[in-house]
Amino acid sequence: MNNRNLSVDLAGLQLKNPLITASGTCGFAVELNEYIDIERLGAVTVKGITVDPRDGNPVPRIAETPSGILNSIGLENPGVDKFISEKLPELKDYELPIIVNISGHSLDDFACLASKLAPCDGIAALEVNVSCPNIEGGGMAFGTDSELIYKVGKIVRKEYDGKIIVKLSPNVTDIVEMACAAEESGADIISLINTLLGMKIDTRQRKPALANVFGGLSGPAVKPVALRMVYQVAQKVDIPIIGMGGIMTANDALEFLMAGATAVSVGTGTMVDPEILMEIIDGLEEYMRDNSIDSLDQIIGIAHSAIG
């Protein structure tokens, strides 16, 4: 049996396969190495980094729902300085591209994060999370306003020469408008989707299940929405897409690739069982072998051509 070549070119980043961990679901990724060989992954994305350290939201901040989870972690992280001095050096020991997810509550936050990370070696790309509330702008998430997405993308581009991924929120009416704003701002790659805003009520206690009331829904429940958004965005933008939302199996990953994603991320699936990541890589290779596919380029976006 020949081993297949699963490599993909993500805006110039050469990944040995399209499998990436999704931000916030496996800490700083080194933790995962206790369970799986992380160097088999295409890349890892670290949890959202903010300018200052954050304790996150009060508990409970995770609630199970049918086919998904709600989270309101609130970006618990050690802050950018500690990330650079302690976490990044540890991660750099591994042979794999590192994507650093950054979250800000103002344009200045994003500028500060990008300028502090710009001189650091060993970062493959910055992933700009625009799903956080814009405190200065009244609390609405950056990612729900195309002008703000453009401004965030521009400010990060000004400070950072390397690859920039803008990660879109699905909590919008027109995802294509948001994706076009990200592309125009100078982003190299778009990732989608972040979590969908939701809630759960604990009827025994007669109160919201999350201390923060609302949380982000992820997991298989969101997959059809995520897939639809990847498909729509792929029709309109020229930069590559990282697709995510509910991927649990190789078949799920194939759906995203066929919808037009060049790479895929797995979040909730990693939390359920990190071995899923390895099974997806093996499953993609098996699919390629069974269907005599030499390169994933042969199937990326193929679902579009079926529509004529």
Instruction: Give catalytic residue positions.
Output: 132
**Is residue 268 within the footprint of ligand FMN (CB under 6 A)?**
yes
Candidate list 17, 71, 146, 169; residue touching ligand FMN; CB under 6 A: 71
Q: Which residue is nearest to ligand FMN (CB)?
A: 24
Q: Which is nearer to ligand FMN, 73 or 303 (CB)?
A: 73
Q: Which is nearer to ligand FMN, 61 or 116 (CB)?
A: 61
> Under 8 Å CB-to-CB from 290, ≥6 apart: which residues?
none
Instruction: Spell out, one character per residue from 25 to 44, where the chain touches ligand FMN: x when CB under 6 A holds, - when not.
Output: x-------------------
**Residue type (1 letter), 281:** I
Structure tokens at 213: 């009331």
> Under 8 Å CB-to-CB from 94, ≥6 apart: which residues?
29, 30, 33, 38, 39
- In sequence order, what E strands does the chain have? 8-10, 13-15, 19-21, 44-45, 62-65, 68-71, 98-103, 125-129, 163-167, 189-192, 196-199, 201-202, 207-208, 214-218, 241-244, 263-266
Binding to ligand FMN, residues 142-161 (CB under 6 A): none
**Residue type (1 letter), 216:** G
CB of 100 to ligand FMN, least distance (A): 11
Scanning 65-73, 106-114, 197-205, 290-298 for contacts with ligand FMN by CB under 6 A, the matching segment is 65-73
CB of 173 to ligand FMN, least distance (A): 19
Binding to ligand FMN, residues 169-208 (CB under 6 A): 194-195
Please tell me the count of residues contacting ligand FMN according to CB under 6 A.
26
**Is residue 105 within the footprint of ligand FMN (CB under 6 A)?**
no
Q: Which is nearer to ligand FMN, 27 or 122 (CB)?
A: 27
Q: Which is nearer to ligand FMN, 4 or 160 (CB)?
A: 160
CB of 154 to ligand FMN, least distance (A): 19
CB of 73 to ligand FMN, least distance (A): 5
Scanning 35-43, 178-186, 204-212, 261-269 for contacts with ligand FMN by CB under 6 A, the matching segment is 261-269
Scanning 4-12, 86-94, 245-253, 288-296 for contacts with ligand FMN by CB under 6 A, the matching segment is 245-253
> Under 8 Å CB-to-CB from 33, ≥6 apart: which residues?
94
- In sequence order, what E strands does 172-306 have? 189-192, 196-199, 201-202, 207-208, 214-218, 241-244, 263-266
**Is residue 212 within the footprint of ligand FMN (CB under 6 A)?**
no
> Under 8 Å CB-to-CB from 51, ≥6 apart: which residues?
79, 80, 104, 109, 112, 113
Scanning 52-60, 110-118, 232-240, 262-270 for contacts with ligand FMN by CB under 6 A, the matching segment is 262-270
Cβ atoms within 10 Å, residue 120: 16
- The owner of tokens 């990660």 is 167
Q: At residue 261, what are phi and psi to the nearest 5 degrees?
A: -80, 140
Contact by Cβ (8 Å): 71, 23: no
Distance of CA 235 to the CA centre of its chain: 20
Q: Which residues bind ligand FMN (CB under 6 A)?
A: 22-25, 47-48, 69, 71, 73, 75, 101, 129, 167, 194-195, 218-219, 222, 244-247, 266-269
